[in-house]
Amino acid sequence: MSFTKSERKWKGSPSVLLISISFAKPSTFVYKNVGYTNESGGIYLARTRVDVFNTPIPKALLKLAWPIMITQIFQIIYNMTDAFWLGKLGKVKFSAPTVSFPVIFIFMSFAFGLSSAGTALVSQHIGAKRKREAEKSAMQTLLSSFLLSMFLGLIGFFSSSWILTLLNIEEILRPYVEEYLKVIFLGLPFTFLMFSSQAVVRGWGDTVFTMRVTAISVLANAFLDPFMIFGIGFPRMEVRGAALATIISRAIAAMYSIHTMMSGKLGFRIHLEDLKPDLKIIGKIFKIGIPGAIGQAVTASGFAVVMGVISRFGPAVVSAYGVGSRISSALSMVGFAISGAVTTMVGQFLGARDIKKVDETVKWGFIETFTIVGVMALFLFLFGDLVTKFFIDDPEVVRLGETYFHLVSFSMPLFAMMSIVMGAFNGAGKTHLVAIVNVARLWGVRVPLVFWMAKLFGFNGIFYAMAISNALALLLGYAMLKLVKWKEAII
């Protein structure tokens, strides 16, 4: 397919332009410096892709990271929407997604693992100038994710009750947690497809696409939540309604992702002919993805154990932790955004065998993460009570939330910086190293500290343990980065 630059100009703002490109008919217009038209009049958004080989590394990192940061902000809005509406039902029902999250994350870790494999394969093929192989790897990643998600979703649905018994979840919370889990498990294939499609295009070097997909999901969820939770036009479903709104919004985003990639509008296309299983590529995807998935699953099981300890202190502590963990995750997402940029760039530079640029990418990833997250952590230290009160206006929860932010805030930049280490390993396809670091930091450090310090200091001990484990996690990750041989391509 050949492409010719359009000379038609657009005088609107960049944000209006982005929205217009997203929803306009293919033959309507193309911005001179953003798009290209193909022979059939379709739009090829070539300039949403970052050419990391011809852009200074600090600038390329930020150009790749800012759409991921916006994506994470959308994700924060997504979480806040659920928290806001469920908070109106009281602290018991508000706690259901919080208690459910570690269990869901165990299953979701396999989506992240296979997605990491897709990003590594696509980015390294692109760096080696083998685009067709990159596109085939992308389709095989989507296929692998879908098949695995069907299997895991059925396991999760039928084992939900047993899992909650194993975790010793309080009886007052249990029916709502189980209700929430079962709906999420049934919709697991849509979640896997949404994440894996974003990952493979990120390997291509386009993070604006992931931002657009997440925006669609968030807007759909924000619209559906009040209707499905409170029964406006639907039966009143409360906790089940929040879960169902989540699944429907992810299904919409997944279908949009697949349609866009098949259209070729991103300059990167998936082909139906590649839907036939290629055991060699699938084997490589699982070889790369499963170690990381197992590592994250083991890590998530550790978080589930920690959640079990927290739940013993009652709904007020669970609610305060729920608010705190959501905000902590928001700060970590800044690190994850830059980490995602590091993954893409490391993958492409390794594909091109440029080790010097690999090292420079990691260095700038550390600098930018520490600066941004440090400023945000200071804000939370000063205004943690107001942040907690925004979600749930319970005096005891607000007091506990303020304590959380006072004790944990200044360790947040250190934890976020550890994600840069993970991004570098993922870009290299060395997910077994990610697994080693994740398992060691949680089961070797956080879980023992939580049990020990909770026994000594009560619920405050949990917050002490989180802060200490964040600092030790960075030391562990940095040591692995320096001591282990990992700068080798996998293609």
Query: Do residues 38 and 266 lie in contact, with contact meaning Cβ atoms separated by under 8 Å?
Result: no
Per-residue pLDDT tens, the chain, 491 aa: give them: 333 333 333 333 333 333 333 333 333 323 233 333 333 333 444 457 888 898 899 999 999 998 988 887 787 777 777 777 877 777 777 777 777 877 888 888 888 888 889 999 999 999 989 899 999 999 999 999 999 999 999 999 998 888 888 877 777 888 888 888 999 999 999 999 999 999 999 999 898 888 889 899 989 988 998 888 887 777 788 888 888 999 999 999 999 999 999 988 888 889 999 989 999 999 999 988 888 788 777 776 777 787 778 777 777 777 777 777 777 777 777 888 899 899 999 999 999 899 999 999 999 999 999 988 888 888 888 877 777 777 777 777 777 777 778 778 788 888 888 889 989 999 998 888 888 888 888 888 888 888 888 888 887 787 788 788 888 888 888 888 888 889 988 87
pLDDT at residue number 196: 92
The rounded distance, in Å, linking the Cα atoms of 360 and 235 is 55
Instruction: Determine the 3-state secondary structure of 4 from DSSP.
Output: strand
The rounded distance, in Å, linking the Cα atoms of 323 and 315 is 12
The rounded distance, in Å, linking the Cα atoms of 289 and 114 is 4
HEC-encoded secondary structure of 68-130: HHHHHHHHHHHHHHHHHHHHCCCHHHHHHHHHHHHHHHHHHHHHHHHHHHHHHHHHHHHHCCC
Q: Residue 44 pairs with which residues in a beta bridge?
A: 36
Cα angle for residues 80, 82, 88 (degrees, 5° grid): 100
Q: At what angle do helices 355-391 and 57-87 cross, to 10 degrees?
A: 20
pTM of the complete model: 0.73
Percent of residues in the chain assigned helix, strand, coil, to nearest 5 = 80, 0, 20
CA dihedral 263, 268, 269, 275 (to 10 degrees): -150
Q: At what angle do helices 279-311 and 447-457 cross, to 10 degrees?
A: 10
Radius of gyration of the chain (CA): 22
pLDDT at residue number 267: 84
Tokens at 153, concatenated: 């979703």
Q: Say how far residue 349 (Cα) sits from the centre of its chain.
A: 23
pLDDT at residue number 47: 57
- How many CA atoms within 13 Å lie on the side-chain side of 216? 20
Query: Do residues 68 and 341 lie in contact, with contact meaning Cβ atoms separated by under 8 Å?
Result: yes
How many Cβ atoms from other residues are within 10 Å of residue 464's Cβ?
Answer: 18
Q: Residue 36 pairs with which residues in a beta bridge?
A: 44
Query: Do residues 51 and 357 lie in contact, with contact meaning Cβ atoms separated by under 8 Å?
Result: no
What distances in angstroms separate CA 318 from CA 99, 168, 169, 359, one per listed residue? 8, 14, 12, 41
Query: Do residues 446 and 466 lie in contact, with contact meaning Cβ atoms separated by under 8 Å?
Result: yes
pLDDT at residue number 19: 33
Domain ranges of the chain: 3-47, 49-483
The rounded distance, in Å, linking the Cα atoms of 253 and 212 is 9
The rounded distance, in Å, linking the Cα atoms of 279 and 265 is 28
CA dihedral 319, 325, 327, 332 (to 10 degrees): -170
pLDDT at residue number 366: 93
129: left (phi over 0), alpha (psi -120 to 50) or beta: left
**353 Cβ contact list (under 8 Å, min separation 6):** 489
Query: Do residues 201 and 210 lie in contact, with contact meaning Cβ atoms separated by under 8 Å?
Result: yes
**Size (the chain), residues:** 491
What does residue 38 show for φ and ψ, rounded to 5 degrees?
-100, -175
pLDDT at residue number 44: 41
Query: Do residues 432 and 292 lie in contact, with contact meaning Cβ atoms separated by under 8 Å?
Result: yes
B/e letters for 240-263, b = 16+ CB within 10 Å, e = fewer, are: bbbbbbbbbbbbbbbebbbebbee
**219 Cβ contact list (under 8 Å, min separation 6):** 249
Tokens at 175, concatenated: 């029916």
DSSP state of 316: H
Instruction: Determine the 3-state secondary structure of 3 from DSSP.
Output: strand
